[in-house]
């Protein structure tokens, strides 16, 4: 902090006086000036001239050549020619939403950050979820890490929490990021595969880079095929710092926990969805918000005091390590609610620019070498993606507080700066804008004073050298079905690797160090000999298991917002449908009626019933469960319809709850479906309860071995 210059009076601090406290819509209001509604407006050129003919180019005669002087046509085509901007180099595919964050209480003992101190305040946020590998138009449900980036528009400036849905990362030092990304991206000769890591260059790199072992096993787990963005956890990954008003620093790890519980798709379903509904995750988020099912997350932190920095058997600066929740529980901070879809994808979701370096007083960085490199990369990438250094002026990126400084000009400048002095100090414009002292009531940002006495050196800290104990902890913490999925994923991905030495290296030098049984199972699936021992000494971690890592322990326990397909044909029992809908509504879940075509059906009671779509239009993969009501004629029609039978079989294979009511019981025999807790036959209230309970379990895991071609 500098003391030599005049400080800003309290009345002008950080813009707090200009904002309506507790106003959830402040960001939306600030965006309002830029929103453009064309209703009842004339079609005009960009220069404001009204257009009389938008159908024909100016020509010499109706059949003659076009004229260069047609400024209307030229302006339109020129703008169109430049409509695309470079997509993000990673995380190109994404979707966003507006909402707010509200702290539960005053966390001033931990941090002086204002948005974590005032429980009456709703801080606007914009969130962008993404995949990492694929381009902008790639499928939502591919096996990949998901980005979870949140921009908090606080009264003290923007804070970006740019995280993922996994708590660790592939590499320890940012200098390896281009290598990692080049390896995972589609291969350079044929640009294959899109949205997948199942190829040689990815496995070549990770099998040579043992520090990736922990993150790769997360990527081979169900976490990489989330059911929806709404059912994902989020993590800040790095260790950050909180600083309170007294200047006391604590290390923190950020966690987002979804109210909807954490759960995933099954692999076959994820693959099919990538074709049948490329926009599955995007659509789910959009529809949930449109329908008033506002997704919610709790933000929490694991807090480690300065004194405890070195009290773990790993280094808290190493981004390939997590802190088990059993060792440091999460302190809940507040909740985030997403309650508004963007109006324009490009202006908001595409142009939003996150950066881990966007922090506010009360938050600071740690020396994690991955984080340190990220602090440079994000702004740098926006320069070419958004065409210059003024991207902070784009409506979606503008902080709520007024910005004044000496930065001037450059491409796309939209602020019209008044005054003569674009330097500081100055005596021409009264010395304004001026620095603000850092004390909390003033709000000037001050970096944490950390004393470092060390050599300038290019070296990985020896405390980063264990790469396997937490990968092992993760594997051992999984439930049996999650472990099977991990074995399946490694086998699938490595099975796509053409070079046998890469497969063998991953099995012998990586998997064998994580778990010999895992290595042996994958080796068997690849036709390789099972390794007899690992290649390195793996230290014993403080914990054998961390139950908090298993999604089996992270369900919400209810069926809120779950989607149920109801298969109907002419003659269906209309009463059964009414009863189901009423019961589902009471639980906050939703039913959609699907017929053989999109035409309405007539119930057994003679009522004409509109359907939402045909069974082919909304396939079983987009639902959580299937219900077939009784009605002899309807069931007979469905039983003779290949699409309906496939619908049920597919839902069965994807381990979804299925209820067959009344005459629909026959379909169980037609399809030879084996009884289990998720196959409910009968129509009474008890059966409906059993159906709902099965949906709340998310999937019928006991069924899984029966759906495999060759049981494990």
Query: DSSP string spanning 221-259?
Result: SGGGSBS-GGG--EE--S-EEEE-TT--EEEEEEEEEET
Task: Please choose, out of 84-92, 208-216, 308-316, 518-526, the segment that lies near ligand HDD by the rule CB under 6 A.
Answer: 84-92
What residues have CB less than 8 Å from 94, skipping those under 6 apart?
88, 128, 129, 130, 131, 147, 349
Residue closer to ligand HDD (CB basis): 349 or 525: 349
Instruction: Determine the Cα–Cα distance for residues 475 and 166; give it in Å rounded to an integer.
Output: 14
Under the criterion CB under 6 A, does residue 381 sit at the interface with ligand HDD? yes
Q: Which of residues 462-501 bind ligand HDD (CB under 6 A)?
A: none
Task: Please choose, out of 2-10, 83-91, 260-268, 532-540, the segment that lies near ligand HDD by the rule CB under 6 A.
Answer: 83-91
Pick from 232, 237, 396, 589 the residue near ligand HDD by CB under 6 A: 237
Instruction: Determine the Cα–Cα distance for residues 443 and 12; give it in Å rounded to an integer.
Output: 10
Residue closer to ligand HDD (CB basis): 162 or 591: 162
Minimum distance of ligand HDD from residue 433's CB (angstroms):
28
Instruction: Tell me, residue by residue from 174 to 193, as one string, x for binding to ligand HDD by CB under 6 A and - for no binding.
Output: x--x----------------
Minimum distance of ligand HDD from residue 180's CB (angstroms):
8
Q: Which of residues 538-557 bind ligand HDD (CB under 6 A)?
A: none
Instruction: Determine the Cα–Cα distance for residues 238 and 377; give it in Å rounded to an integer.
Output: 16
Minimum distance of ligand HDD from residue 218's CB (angstroms):
12
Instruction: Determine the Cα–Cα distance for residues 102 and 241; give it in Å rounded to an integer.
Output: 20
Minimum distance of ligand HDD from residue 136's CB (angstroms):
12
Helices (H), 438-510: 469-477, 480-495, 500-505
Residues binding ligand HDD: number (CB under 6 A): 27
Q: How far are the Cα atoms of 181, 186, 200, 492, 648 from residue 499, in angstroms, in the given order?
A: 20, 16, 7, 14, 39
Both tokens of 702, joined, read 């006991």
Q: How far are the Cα atoms of 200, 210, 221, 372, 465 from residue 215, in angstroms, in the given order?
A: 18, 10, 10, 19, 15
Coil vs helix vs strand at 625: strand
Short-list 320, 323, 313, 321, CA closest to 250: 323
Residue closer to ligand HDD (CB basis): 212 or 525: 212
128 is in an annotated binding site: yes
Minimum distance of ligand HDD from residue 376's CB (angstroms):
7
Q: How far are the Cα atoms of 28, 70, 142, 243, 396 from residue 114, in angstroms, in the given order?
A: 20, 55, 39, 12, 21
Pick from 114, 163, 258, 444 the residue near ligand HDD by CB under 6 A: 163
Positions annotated as catalytic residues are 91, 164
Other C-beta atoms closer than 10 Å to the C-beta of 345 total 14
Pick from 286, 378, 445, 448 the residue near ligand HDD by CB under 6 A: 378
Under the criterion CB under 6 A, does residue 135 sit at the interface with ligand HDD? no
Instruction: Determine the Cα–Cα distance for residues 361 and 368; give it in Å rounded to an integer.
Output: 19
Task: Please choose, out of 161-169, 250-258, 659-667, 699-707, the segment that lies near ligand HDD by the rule CB under 6 A.
Answer: 161-169
Q: How far are the Cα atoms of 251, 278, 675 from residue 307, in angstroms, in the given order?
A: 10, 49, 56
Instruction: Determine the Cα–Cα distance for residues 185 and 199; give it in Å rounded to an integer.
Output: 9
Pick from 373, 389, 431, 547 the residue near ligand HDD by CB under 6 A: 373
Pick from 13, 27, 72, 88 the residue near ligand HDD by CB under 6 A: 88
User: Which residue in the shown chain puts its C-beta closest to ligand HDD?
Assistant: 147
Both tokens of 553, joined, read 């322990």
458 is in an annotated binding site: no
Number of helical H runs and strand E runs in the chain: 18, 18
What residues have CB less than 8 Å from 262, skipping those under 6 apart?
231, 232, 233, 551, 554, 555
Task: Please choose, out of 50-58, 306-314, 373-381, 692-700, the segment that lies near ligand HDD by the rule CB under 6 A.
Answer: 373-381
Under the criterion CB under 6 A, does residue 338 sit at the interface with ligand HDD? no
Under the criterion CB under 6 A, does residue 127 sit at the interface with ligand HDD? no
Residue closer to ligand HDD (CB basis): 289 or 494: 289
Minimum distance of ligand HDD from residue 285's CB (angstroms):
14
Under the criterion CB under 6 A, does residue 345 sit at the interface with ligand HDD? no
Short-list 654, 653, 651, 627, CA closest to 567: 627
Task: Please choose, out of 163-171, 275-283, 295-303, 498-506, the segment that lies near ligand HDD by the rule CB under 6 A.
Answer: 163-171
C-beta of residue 566 within 8 angstroms of C-beta of residue 595: no
Under the criterion CB under 6 A, does residue 392 sit at the interface with ligand HDD? no
Task: Please choose, out of 82-90, 273-281, 403-411, 626-634, the segment that lies near ligand HDD by the rule CB under 6 A.
Answer: 82-90
451 is in an annotated binding site: no
Pick from 114, 147, 324, 361 the residue near ligand HDD by CB under 6 A: 147
Both tokens of 675, joined, read 């009884």
Under the criterion CB under 6 A, does residue 149 sit at the interface with ligand HDD? yes
Residue closer to ligand HDD (CB basis): 381 or 442: 381
Minimum distance of ligand HDD from residue 363's CB (angstroms):
16
88 is in an annotated binding site: yes
Pick from 27, 121, 128, 340 the residue near ligand HDD by CB under 6 A: 128
Other C-beta atoms closer than 10 Å to the C-beta of 676 total 17
Under the criterion CB under 6 A, does residue 643 sit at the interface with ligand HDD? no
Instruction: Determine the Cα–Cα distance for residues 254 and 525; give it in Å rounded to an integer.
Output: 38
Under the criterion CB under 6 A, does residue 240 sit at the interface with ligand HDD? no
Under the criterion CB under 6 A, does residue 239 sit at the interface with ligand HDD? no
Under the criterion CB under 6 A, does residue 694 sit at the interface with ligand HDD? no
Under the criterion CB under 6 A, does residue 386 sit at the interface with ligand HDD? no
Residue closer to ligand HDD (CB basis): 163 or 629: 163
C-beta of residue 646 within 8 angstroms of C-beta of residue 565: no
Pick from 30, 194, 377, 465 the residue near ligand HDD by CB under 6 A: 377
Coil vs helix vs strand at 208: helix
Preceding peptide of 321 cis, ω within 30°: no
The HSE-up count of residue 13 (CA atoms within 13 Å, CB side) is: 17
Task: Please choose, out of 99-107, 182-190, 366-374, 583-591, the segment that lies near ligand HDD by the rule CB under 6 A.
Answer: 366-374
241 is in an annotated binding site: no
Under the criterion CB under 6 A, does residue 91 sit at the interface with ligand HDD? yes
Under the criterion CB under 6 A, does residue 347 sit at the interface with ligand HDD? no
Minimum distance of ligand HDD from residue 370's CB (angstroms):
5
136 is in an annotated binding site: no
Helices 632-639/642-653 angle, 10° precision: 80
Binding site for heme, residues?
88, 128, 177, 374, 378, 385
Using CB under 6 A as the criterion, which residues of the chain lie in contact with ligand HDD when the complex forms? 88-91, 94, 128, 130, 147, 149, 162-164, 169, 174, 177, 237-238, 319, 353-354, 370, 373-374, 377-378, 381-382
């Amino acid at each position: 902090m500098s003391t030599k210059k005049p400080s800003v009076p309290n009345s002008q601090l950080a813009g707090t006086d200009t904002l309506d406290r507790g106003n959830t819509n402040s960001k939306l209001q600030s965006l309002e000036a830029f929103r453009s509604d064309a209703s009842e407006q004339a079609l005009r050129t960009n220069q404001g001239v009204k257009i009389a003919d938008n159908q024909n180019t100016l020509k010499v005669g109706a059949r003659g050549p076009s004229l260069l002087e047609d400024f209307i046509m030229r302006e339109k085509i020129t703008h169109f020619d430049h409509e695309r901007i470079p997509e993000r180099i990673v995380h190109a595919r994404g979707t966003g939403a507006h909402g707010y964050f509200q702290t539960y209480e005053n966390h001033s003992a931990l941090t002086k950050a204002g948005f974590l101190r005032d429980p009456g305040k709703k801080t606007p946020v914009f969130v962008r979820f993404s995949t990492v590998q694929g381009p902008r138009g790639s499928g939502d449900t591919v096996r990949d890490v998901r980005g979870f980036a949140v921009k908090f528009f606080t009264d003290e400036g923007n804070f970006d929490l740019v995280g993922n849905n996994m708590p660790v990362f592939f590499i320890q030092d940012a200098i390896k990021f281009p290598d990692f990304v080049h390896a995972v991206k589609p291969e350079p000769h044929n640009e294959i595969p899109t949205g997948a890591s199942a190829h040689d260059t990815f496995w070549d790199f990770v099998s040579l880079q043992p520090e990736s072992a922990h993150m790769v096993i997360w990527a081979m787990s169900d976490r990489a095929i989330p059911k929806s963005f709404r059912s994902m956890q989020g993590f800040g990954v790095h260790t950050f710092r909180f600083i309170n008003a007294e200047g006391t620093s604590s290390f923190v790890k950020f966690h987002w926990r979804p109210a909807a519980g954490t759960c995933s798709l099954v692999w076959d379903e994820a693959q099919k969805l990538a074709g049948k509904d490329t926009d599955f995750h995007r659509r789910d988020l959009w529809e949930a918000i449109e329908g008033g099912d506002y997704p919610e997350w709790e933000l929490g932190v694991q807090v480690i005091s300065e004194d405890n920095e070195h009290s773990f058997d790993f280094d808290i600066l190493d981004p390939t390590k997590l802190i088990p929740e059993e060792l440091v529980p999460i302190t809940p901070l507040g909740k985030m609610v997403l309650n508004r879809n963007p109006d324009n994808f490009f202006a908001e979701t595409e142009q939003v620019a996150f950066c881990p370096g966007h922090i506010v007083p009360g938050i600071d960085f740690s020396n994690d070498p991955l984080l340190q490199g990220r602090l440079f990369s994000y702004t740098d990438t926006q320069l070419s993606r958004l065409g210059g250094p003024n991207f902070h002026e784009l409506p979606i990126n503008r902080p709520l507080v007024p910005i004044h400084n000496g930065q001037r000009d450059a491409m796309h400048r939209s602020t019209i700066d008044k005054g003569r002095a674009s330097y500081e100090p100055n005596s021409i414009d009264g010395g304004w804008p001026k620095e603000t002292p850092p004390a909390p009531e003033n709000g000037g940002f001050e970096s944490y004073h950390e004393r470092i006495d060390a050599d300038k050196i290019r070296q990985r800290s020896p405390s980063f050298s264990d790469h396997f104990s937490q990968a092992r902890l993760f594997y051992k913490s999984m439930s049996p079905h999650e472990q099977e999925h991990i074995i399946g994923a490694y086998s699938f991905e490595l099975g796509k690797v053409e070079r046998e030495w890469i497969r063998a290296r991953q099995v012998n030098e990586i998997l064998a160090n994580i778990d010999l049984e895992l290595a042996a199972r994958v080796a068997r699936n690849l036709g390789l000999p099972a390794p007899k021992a690992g290649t390195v000494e793996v230290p014993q971690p403080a914990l054998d298991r961390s139950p908090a890592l298993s999604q089996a322990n992270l369900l919400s326990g209810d069926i809120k917002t779950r989607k149920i397909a109801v298969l109907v044909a002419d003659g269906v029992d209309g009463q059964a449908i009414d009863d189901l809908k009423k019961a589902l509504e009471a639980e906050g879940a939703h039913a959609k009626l699907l017929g053989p075509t999109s035409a309405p059906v007539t119930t057994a009671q003679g009522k004409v019933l509109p359907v939402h779509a045909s069974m082919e239009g909304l396939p079983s993969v987009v639902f959580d469960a299937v219900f077939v009501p009784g009605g002899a004629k309807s069931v007979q029609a469905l039983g003779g319809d290949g699409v309906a039978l496939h619908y049920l079989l597919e839902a069965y294979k994807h381990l979804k709850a299925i209820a067959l009511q009344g005459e629909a019981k026959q379909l169980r025999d037609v399809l030879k479906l084996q009884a289990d807790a998720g196959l409910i036959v009968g129509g009474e209230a008890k059966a409906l309860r059993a159906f709902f309970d099965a949906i709340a379990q998310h999937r019928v895991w006991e069924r899984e071995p029966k759906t495999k071609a060759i049981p494990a």
